[in-house]
Structure 1
Amino acid sequence: MKKKTQKNKSIKLNYIYNVSYQILTLITPLITAPYLSRVLKADGIGAYSYTYSLVSYFIMFAALGTVNYGNREISYLQEDRAKRTKTFWEIELLSVISVIVCLCAYMVFTLAFGHSPLKKHLLLIEAVYLISVASDISWLFQGLEEFGKIVGRNVIFKIINIAFIFIAVRSESDLLIYVAGICLLELFANISIWFYLPQYVDRPKLKELKPFSHLRATLTLFVPTIATTIYTALDKTMLNNITGSMTENGYYEQANKISKMVLMLVTSLGTVMLPRIGRAFSENKPDEVKALLYKSFQFVWFIGLALCFGLIGIARNFSPWFFGPGYEKVPYLIMIMATLLPIIGLSNVIGIQYLVTTKRESLLTRSVCIGAAANFVMNMILIHQLYSYGAAIASVISEVIITAVQLYFIRNELSIPKIFSLSWKYLISAVCMLIVLLLMDARLSVSFMHTMIMIVTGFIVYMVLLVLMRDEMVWEGIRLIKARINATK
C-alpha cells in the first residue's frame, strides 16, 4: 500500500475551522437556552442535568481514553496509510467492545435500581449517548488535522438541533421528547462522518487486528478521564443527593452551561495543537514543541482573561432576560464559574497538549486524581452550607489545585515565570474592561440591548488597550487582516 502524503496543514486554518464550530456551539444555546429555560422550567432542566450526570459515568467507562489516545496515535501516522488503517480499526474495535460491556451494565443499573418513573424514562432514553460513543470517530480526523470535515458535519446537525427544539418542544411535558431528540441527533451526527472514512483508511484485515494491544495505553488516559468526569458530574449528583432539590440542580446546570460554552473558545486551540505538537514530538523537535506550547499559553491568557472578566461584568445584566424568572442565583454562579476559564485553559495546555502528547499520562492522572479528591471533600463541606454556590466554589478550588500540581510537574522543562509573564498585558486590559463593565452595569437596566452594548464596549476597551500596549498577538491579527484586504484589491 502506498503511503498517502498528507498536505501541510495550517494551524491558523484549522483553528478557524475549529473556532467556527465552537462559535456555532456557543450560539446554539444562546438561541435555545432562553426558550428551554422558560418551557421546561428549572425542575425540568434539573431533572435532565441529574440523570445526565448519572449516564456520564457510564459514558466515561465506555469511552476509555480512546479520544485523546486515538488523536495522538493518528497524529504520529499522518504519512503512513497502512499503519494508520490498522491503528484506526484496532482502536475503534476496542471502543465498540467497551461500549457493549458498559451498555449492559447501564441497563442493569437503570432497570434494577429504584428510580422515579421520570428519571427511569430519561435514563432509558439517554442510553443512546452510550451508543454514540462507539460511533464517534472524530479523533481520526483531528489526528489527521482534517478539521474541515468535522466542522461541516457539525454545523449541519447544530442547525437541525435548533429547528427540532423550537418545533417539537412546546411545554414542560415535552421533556422526554427533548432528550430523545438531542440524543438521536448526536448519534446521527457521529454516523454521518463515516462517509468520509474511505478517503483516509482502508478496509480492515480482521485477522491482523489486535484491539487489546491498545488497552494498557488507553487506560493510562482513562484514569484522568475518570477523575475529570467524577468531579464534573459529581457536583450535580451530590447537589441532588445532599439538597434533594432539582431546582438547585437547575440553577447550577444553567450557569455551568454558560461557563462550558465560553470555555470551548478557550480550549479550542488545544484540539488543533495536539496533533501538531504530537508530530513535532514524534520528529524529535523539542524546541518546536516548546515554541508551540508557549504560543498556546499566550492564547489562553489572551482569550481566557478577556472572557473571564467579561462574563463577570455582564452576568447580572445578561442572566435575567436570558433565562427568565426563577433563576435568581444564576448570575452569581456564572461569576464564580467564569474564573474557571483561564485556569482550565492552562491545565488544558499542560495536561492535554504537553503531557499526553509526550506520553506522560501518569502525571496528568496524578494531578486530576488529586483535584477529584479535593472536589469531593470540598463538595461535602460546601454544598451543605452554600448549595449550588458551594458546588461552584468547589469546582474552582479543584481546578486551581490541578493546574498548580501540573505546573509543579513541568517546572524543570518549561519556564513557569515565562508562562505567567505572558499574561500581564491581558490581565491589565481585562481588569480595565471589568471596571468599565461594572460601571455600566450599575447604570443600565436589564435588557438584551444593554447587554449587547456592554459586550461591544468591553471588546473595544480590551482590544484598544492591547493595541496601545503593542501586543504581538493582536498586531499579528491586524497584519493578517491588512494582507487579506490588500490581496482583494
Structure 2
Amino acid sequence: MNTIKKNFAYNAIYQILVIILPIVTAPFVSRVLGPTKMGQYSYTYSIATYFLLIAKLGFDNYGNRSIARRRSSKGDLDKTFSGIYYLQFIIAFSIMCLYSIYVLFISKYSTLALMQGLWVLGALFDINWFFYGLEEFSIIILRNTLVKIISIVLIFCIVRGPNDLWKYTLILSASSVAGFLITWPFVFSKVKLVKIQLKEIFSHFRQTILLFIPVIAISVFTILDKIMLGYMSSFTQVGYFEAAEKVMMAPKGIIGALGTVMLPRMANLYSSGDNKNKRVFIDLSVGFALVFSIGCMFGIMGVAETFVPIFFGPKYLATTMILKIMAIVLPFYAIGNVVRTQLLIPNMRDKPYINSVLFGAIVNVTLNFVLIPKLGARGTVIATIVAEIVIAVFQLLAVLRELKPNYFVMTVLYSLFSSGTMLFVIFLVKVILGNSLLSLLLQIVIGGMTFAITFILISSKSRDVISTKMVNTIIRKK
C-alpha cells in the first residue's frame, strides 16, 4: 500500500505539472491574447491533437498493460518494449507526413498549424507508457518540472500582445517535444532495443487498434467539442469553453493519476490471480474517486463566481455558468475512470470499454448538433455531461457483480453532507469579504479544509467499512 500511495503522489504531481502551465499563465495569457485569439489557439491545437491521437493509437494503455505483465523477465521486457516502440515509430512517422500535407494545402491558419505540428512530432518519442508499466514515475516528474518551469518563464518574458499568439503556441508545443527527448537516456538504463522480425512488430497492431477506438471516441469530449463549437458558433465561445476546461483539468488530472498508477498494478494482480488485494484496491479507489470528485464538484460551483473574474478577467464572465455546469461531470468521470483502468483494461475486457465510449461519443456528437446552435458553449457542456453519464452507467453495468455499488452508498452520503457544510462556509466568506483575491483564497483553503475535516470526523465515528478503511489508509502509513 505504501508503494501505491507513493506512486499515486508521484503521478498526481505529474498530472498537475502537465496542467500547471496553462493554470499559472491563464490570468496573464487570457488578458494579453483575449478570448478570440485563445479560441484560435484552441481550434488549431484541437486539430493537431487529432493527428497526435492517431499517431499514438492505443499505445498508452496497451504499452502500460503489456510492460506491467512482462516486467519480471528482462528478455521478455526488451522484446516487448522494442516491438511496441518500433510499431509506434512507424505509425507516428506516417501520421507526421500526413499532417505536413494538411499544413501545406488545407489549413487556413498555416503558421499556427505548423507550430502545433510539434505536438504530433512528439509522438515519435513519447514512451511514458514504459515507465507507467514499470510503476516508476519519478523520472517523469523531474522531466516535467524542468520543462514546465522554463516554459512559464518564457511565456511571461516573450508573450506581450495578441500578435504574439504564435510565440505562445511555439513555446507550448516545443516544450512538449523537449520533455520527451530528455526522458530517453533513462530508458536505456532499464531496457534495450533489440532486433525483431517485422511480423512480431505488427503482432501488437490489433490490440493497439482496439484500444485506439475508445481513445478516439473519448476525444469527442476533449477535442471535437471545440472544433464543432468553433465551426457552429464562434471562436469567442471556444475561448469561454477553453477557460472553464482549464479549471477542470486540475481535478481530472488527480483522478486520472489514480487510474494511471493503478492500471499496471491491477494488470499484475490479474495476471497473478491475487483476488484479495484486487478487492482492497478497488474498494479504496472507488471510495477515493467518489469523495474527491463530489467535493471538487461542489467546491468549484461554490467559488466559480469569485474565481472567474479574478482569474481570467472581466471579459470571461460568461465562463462562470459554463464552469458551474461543467463541474457536474466530475463524479461520473471519476467512476468511469476507476472502472475502465482497474476492472476492464487490466483484465483484458476491452469490448465493454470500447462499446461504452463509442455509444457515449455518438450521444455527444448528436447533442452537440442540436444544442450548440442554440446555447453555444453551454450546449457543448450539457452534451458532454450526458455522454459521460451514459459511459459511466454502461461501464458500471458491465462490472456490477464485481463492484457492488451498494457498498458505497454511505460514502456518497457522507460526501454530500461534507459538501453542504463546505458550501455554507464558502458562502459566509463570500458575504463577509466579497469578490476579492483574499476572499477567493480563503474560500478555497477554508472550504477545502471544512470538507476534509467533516468527512474524516463522520467516517471515524461510522460503521461504514469503505469510508473508515479509506480514511485509515490515507492518515495511517499502511
User: Which residue of 119, 123, 131 corresponds with 1:133?
Assistant: 123
Distance 1:382 1:305 in 2: 26
Residues 218 and 361, structure 2, Cα contact 8 Å, conserved in 1? yes
Once the two structures are superposed, residues 408-447 of structure 1 have per-residue CA deviations (whole angstroms, 9 ceiling, x without a partner) of 1111332122244432222221122123323433553222
Q: Which residue of 2 aligns with 1:53?
A: 46
Report the alpha carbon displacement of residue 270 of structure 1 after superposing the two structures with TM: 1.1
Residues 25 and 261, structure 1, Cα contact 8 Å, conserved in 2? no
Deviates more, 1:22-31 or 1:318-327: 22-31
Distance 1:441 1:397 in 2: 31
Change in 2 beyond 3 A, CA 1:474/1:412: closer
Distance 1:198 1:46 in 2: 40
Once the two structures are superposed, residues 138-190 of structure 1 have per-residue CA deviations (whole angstroms, 9 ceiling, x without a partner) of 11011001111111111111111111111121111111111111111100101
Distance 1:39 1:130 in 2: 27
Q: Which residue of 2 aligns with 1:399?
A: 388
User: Which residue of 186, 192, 212 corresponds with 2:182?
Assistant: 192
TM-score, L = length of structure 1: 0.92
Give identity over the alignment, percent.
34
Distance 2:419 2:192 in 1: 50
User: Which residue of 271, 274, 287 corresponds with 1:298?
Assistant: 287
Q: Which residue of 1 aligns with 2:464?
A: none
User: Which residue of 60, 64, 67 corresponds with 1:67?
Assistant: 60
Change in 2 beyond 3 A, CA 1:232/1:29: closer
Once the two structures are superposed, residues 227-266 of structure 1 have per-residue CA deviations (whole angstroms, 9 ceiling, x without a partner) of 11123212111111111x1111100011011111221112
AA aligned opposite 2:413: W
Distance 1:369 1:183 in 2: 29
AA aligned opposite 2:83: E
AA aligned opposite 1:169: V
Specify the SS of the correspondent of 2:71: coil
Residues 67 and 130, structure 2, Cα contact 8 Å, conserved in 1? yes
Residues 81 and 193, structure 2, Cα contact 8 Å, conserved in 1? no
Q: Which residue of 1 aligns with 2:11?
A: 18
Specify the SS of the correspondent of 1:202: coil
Deviates more, 1:354-363 or 1:200-209: 200-209
Specify the SS of the correspondent of 1:203: coil
Report the alpha carbon displacement of residue 89 of structure 1 after superposing the two structures with TM: 1.1
Q: Which residue of 2 aligns with 1:177?
A: 167
Distance 1:353 1:169 in 2: 42
Specify the SS of the correspondent of 1:423: helix
Specify the SS of the correspondent of 2:401: coil
**1:404-415 pair list within 5 angstroms:** 404-415=393-404
Q: Which residue of 2 aligns with 1:456?
A: 445
Q: Does 1:338 align with 2:327?
A: yes
Q: Which residue of 2 aligns with 1:253?
A: 242
Q: Does 1:267 align with 2:279?
A: no
Residues 159 and 168, structure 2, Cα contact 8 Å, conserved in 1? yes
Change in 2 beyond 3 A, CA 1:26/1:218: closer
AA aligned opposite 2:329: L
Report the alpha carbon displacement of residue 381 of structure 1 after superposing the two structures with TM: 1.1
Q: Does 1:105 align with 2:94?
A: no
User: Which residue of 232, 243, 249 corresponds with 1:242?
Assistant: 232
User: Which residue of 288, 294, 312 corresponds with 1:323?
Assistant: 312
Distance 1:101 1:26 in 2: 28
**1:348-359 pair list within 5 angstroms:** 348-359=337-348
Specify the SS of the correspondent of 1:215: helix
User: Which residue of 475, 479, 483 corresponds with 2:476?
Assistant: 479
**1:282-297 pair list within 5 angstroms:** 282-297=271-286
Once the two structures are superposed, residues 457-489 of structure 1 have per-residue CA deviations (whole angstroms, 9 ceiling, x without a partner) of 212211221232115333443334xx9xxxxxx
Distance 1:424 1:418 in 2: 12
AA aligned opposite 1:124: L
Report the alpha carbon displacement of residue 293 of structure 1 after superposing the two structures with TM: 1.3
Deviates more, 1:380-389 or 1:427-436: 427-436
Residues 220 and 364, structure 2, Cα contact 8 Å, conserved in 1? no
Distance 1:96 1:372 in 2: 28
Distance 1:47 1:168 in 2: 19
Once the two structures are superposed, residues 255-298 of structure 1 have per-residue CA deviations (whole angstroms, 9 ceiling, x without a partner) of 01111122111221111111111110110123322321121101
Distance 1:171 1:193 in 2: 33
Structure 2 unpaired stretches of 5+: 461-466
Q: Which residue of 1 aligns with 2:421?
A: 432
Distance 1:479 1:359 in 2: 33
Residues 313 and 441, structure 1, Cα contact 8 Å, conserved in 2? no
- Aligned CA RMSD, in angstroms, stands at 1.8
Change in 2 beyond 3 A, CA 1:231/1:461: closer
AA aligned opposite 1:433: M
User: Which residue of 70, 87, 95 corresponds with 2:88?
Assistant: 95
